[in-house]
Amino acid sequence: MRDPGSLALATVLLPAAAFLLLALVVPLRRAGRPAAYLSSLFAAGALACAVRAWSISARGGFSLWTWPWIPMEAGPLTTIGVLADADSTLMLVLVAGVSFLVQVYSLGYLSDEPPASLGRYYTYQSLFAFSMMGLVLAPNFVQLFVCWELVGLCSYLLIGYWYQRPEAARAAVKAFWTTKAGDVGLLIGIVLLYRQAGTFDFLDLLVMVDSGTLPLAGLGVITFCIYLGAVGKSAQFPLHVWLPDAMEGPTPVSALIHAATMVTAGVYLLVRTAWLFDQTPEVLEIVGWVGAFTALLAAVLACAQSDIKRVLAYSTVSQLGFMMAAIGAGFASAGFLHLLTHGVFKALLFLAAGAVIHAVGTNDIFAMGGLGRAMPQTFIVFLIGTLSLAGIPFFGGFFSKEEIFAGVWVGGLSIPFTMLAIAAFLTAFYMFRVVFIAFAGTRGNGHGSGGHAHDGPLTMTVPLWILAALSMAVGIGFAVKHPEAEFVAPGWITPLAIALALGGIALAWLTYQRRAIDADRLSGAFAPIRDAAENRFYLDDAFLLIYRWAFLRFSRIVGWVDRYVVDGVLNVVSAWTLDAGDRLRRIQSGQPQDYVYGVALGVLLLLVWFHWLV
């Protein structure tokens, strides 16, 4: 098979088949581990197909396979199928790869789960892989939206995997509603775009944009609405509040959905439709500002967390802000590059954090300590992920982050650039804060729980090493062979990026390792910010307040209108009907002679009418 389209199609259909098998064959699902093996096997097959498809389309292969969908009088409304090009197949490799590694890792991480739950978990995982790949390969907005909602559903199901825990159930509902708020915007945008352009198809739209036949009036509203969908899904300010709560799900789920793939769907959407957003520079500027602000806000929030997963969650929000800022500056390719590298090293970080949590049994970094000696393998891979995230040369995230800096600077967004610079400094700081507190330091800082900790089973360590190797390979690969940038960056960008990262590391080292700087005094210096950050900048409270005071009040008013106005009118009408019926009932006397009277009288009246009145 030389056609990337058929390979991409096989990649999508393999997890779909696994999902259908697990969903329909109940005994297989309830068996637990066999279901896990089957799902992982299919995921491996999908990964192989994805890599093959990418290797073809990276050399310029391009393929579009579609089938008509929703027949109408004037031809089908839209199509479903796969659009395999260099970008989508590269993303496909990321999704399939992380998905496969996470499924293998989950075998070890969730080894204590009852078989039925484990089967359910792998069913969701397969459904997610299918939906995400469908989203990545979507040739038009309709399929993209359908898959967009499907991944949202999977996110909901997997956050609420331990649905017996009230926090998990709450977090699942919160994630669902918050992203749904953005999805409404996306749906409106798609419908408006259809009204403007008359097509959902990416290629048709691209042709229209290139030939200048797409009317530009009102396009800003459309792209902004589409961007709203990305705000919800990719956790941009102010809809980022769901992502930290989503950490209630199992850690492999956080790695796959809430770090590497699903949350980047918004970024991917903007990358995919960059030519459309280029038509509306004013919206792009909003994207850039909001992205940079999100990056800074989340970085500040991450410094105040003591839950290792929440630190990573906020850092994901922050990195998504970086990608959005690059897109806003007009360099979508830089954002896409960071999406890919981030997908690898953030999955690595989450899985390593999962290994720690699995071993220690707590999320609190202050209850850890000295884990570096107890879990040497986990420590090394976590360190690789941290260095990648901080942006140290020869590690995964360095080049893509520097690209973003350069892009934002060249794009002329100088204030967002400053925000990103501070965010990058804080990124290095909060990540090494975790490293120094949890892995270095004295053993058993807290409850002595670190004492029995050890590296996980092979199913957990092997995916970690693979991801770590990939991070390193990406970093070294970019260092050896720079891809040609589409812009000329000023020479001081690289030293600045390295200096920011090293500065953050140095501050964390001085504070938490050497204790040359007292942590309490350091945070005391930023007391107002610290207090606000500990309360998540009151955003969750604000949303709760809006929910209580606006939504609940509004629904109470709507409820009153429904109960007393709508129902009232119906009740009055029905009461009148009953009353009239009761009155009319009395003319039915049951006496045949009365009826004969009636008939005779009627005949008489008809006679009179016909004879004299007509």
Partner 1 sequence: MGLQAYLTLAAALFAIGLFGVVTRRNTIGILLGIELMLNAVNINLVAFARFNADPAGFIFTVFTISITVAEVALGLALVILIFRVRRTAMADHLDILRG
Closest CB to partner 1 among 414 and 591? 591
Angstrom distance (rounded) from CA 550 to CA 588:
56
- Give Cα 301 distance to the centre of its chain: 19
- DSSP, collapsed to helix, strand or coil, labels residue 63 as strand
Whether 384 contacts 282, CB under 8 Å: no
- Give Cα 206 distance to the centre of its chain: 26
Closest CB to partner 1 among 442 and 593? 593
396-399 contacts: CB < 8 A, separation 24 or more? 396/341, 396/344, 396/345, 396/470, 396/471, 396/472, 396/474, 396/475, 397/338, 397/341, 397/342, 397/345, 397/475, 398/475, 398/478, 398/479, 398/497, 399/337, 399/341, 399/475, 399/478, 399/479, 399/482
Closest CB to partner 1 among 521 and 586? 586
User: What x-and-dash track marks residues 552-591 binding partner 1 by CB under 8 A?
Assistant: ---------------------------------xxxxxxx
Minimum Å gap between C-beta 588 and partner 1 is 3
Q: Contact with partner 1 (CB under 8 A): which of 207, 473, 569, 596?
A: 596
Among the listed residues 328, 529, 287, the one whose alpha carbon sits nearest the alpha carbon of residue 426: 529
Q: Does 600 bind partner 1 (CB under 8 A)?
A: yes
Backbone angles phi, psi at 484, to 5 degrees: -65, 125
Minimum Å gap between C-beta 568 and partner 1 is 29
Closest CB to partner 1 among 473 and 606? 606
Closest CB to partner 1 among 587 and 613? 587
Closest CB to partner 1 among 527 and 587? 587
Q: Does 593 bind partner 1 (CB under 8 A)?
A: yes
Angstrom distance (rounded) from CA 311 to CA 533:
12
- DSSP, collapsed to helix, strand or coil, labels residue 199 as coil
Minimum Å gap between C-beta 612 and partner 1 is 19
Strand partners, 285: none
Minimum Å gap between C-beta 585 and partner 1 is 4
Closest CB to partner 1 among 213 and 593? 593
Minimum Å gap between C-beta 577 and partner 1 is 16
Minimum Å gap between C-beta 611 and partner 1 is 15
Closest CB to partner 1 among 59 and 585? 585
Q: Which amino acid is at 149?
A: E
Q: Per the structure block, which two tokens stand in for 441?
A: 């330091």
Closest CB to partner 1 among 549 and 597? 597
Phi-psi region of 455 (alpha: psi -120 to 50; beta: other; left: phi over 0): beta
Q: Per the structure block, which two tokens stand in for 472?
A: 């390193």
Minimum Å gap between C-beta 597 and partner 1 is 6
Angstrom distance (rounded) from CA 483 to CA 399:
10
Closest CB to partner 1 among 541 and 594? 594
Task: Tell me the window of 102-110, 458-466, 469-477, 593-601 that interacts with partner 1 (CB under 8 A).
Answer: 593-601
Please, what is the angle between helix 115-136 and helix 4-24, to 10°?
Answer: 150
* Cβ neighbours of residue 225 closer than 8 Å, sequence gap 6 or more: 185, 186, 188, 189, 192
User: What x-and-dash track marks residues 354-383 binding partner 1 by CB under 8 A?
Assistant: ------------------------------
Give the count of residues interacting with partner 1 (CB under 8 A).
12
Whether 392 contacts 497, CB under 8 Å: no
Q: Contact with partner 1 (CB under 8 A): which of 166, 592, 611, 614?
A: 592
- Give Cα 147 distance to the centre of its chain: 12
- Kindly report whether the peptide bond that precedes residue 238 is cis, defined as omega within 30 degrees of 0: yes
Closest CB to partner 1 among 491 and 592? 592
How many Cβ atoms sit within 10 Å of the Cβ of residue 497? Answer: 23
For residue 81, the 8-state DSSP code is E
* Cβ neighbours of residue 450 closer than 8 Å, sequence gap 6 or more: 360, 368, 369, 370, 371, 374, 443, 444
Minimum Å gap between C-beta 150 and partner 1 is 59
Q: Does 211 bind partner 1 (CB under 8 A)?
A: no
Minimum Å gap between C-beta 192 and partner 1 is 59
User: What x-and-dash track marks residues 160-199 binding partner 1 by CB under 8 A?
Assistant: ----------------------------------------
Closest CB to partner 1 among 211 and 591? 591
Minimum Å gap between C-beta 584 and partner 1 is 8
Q: Contact with partner 1 (CB under 8 A): which of 580, 597, 602, 605?
A: 597
Q: Which amino acid is at 594?
A: D
- DSSP, collapsed to helix, strand or coil, labels residue 452 as helix
Whether 454 contacts 359, CB under 8 Å: yes
Q: Per the structure block, which two tokens stand in for 210?
A: 């290139």
Minimum Å gap between C-beta 601 and partner 1 is 11
Task: Tell me the window of 166-174, 458-466, 475-483, 592-600 that interacts with partner 1 (CB under 8 A).
Answer: 592-600
Closest CB to partner 1 among 473 and 599? 599
Q: Does 521 bind partner 1 (CB under 8 A)?
A: no
Minimum Å gap between C-beta 600 and partner 1 is 6
Minimum Å gap between C-beta 594 and partner 1 is 9
Longest Cα–Cα distance in the chain? 119
Task: Tell me the window of 359-367, 461-469, 570-578, 594-602 that interacts with partner 1 (CB under 8 A).
Answer: 594-602
Closest CB to partner 1 among 557 and 596? 596
> Burial letters for 217-231: b for 16+ Cβ neighbours within 10 Å, e otherwise?
eebbbbbbbbbbbbb
Q: Does 414 bind partner 1 (CB under 8 A)?
A: no
Minimum Å gap between C-beta 613 and partner 1 is 22
Provide the binding-site residues for partner 1, judged by CB under 8 A.
Answer: 585-593, 596-597, 600
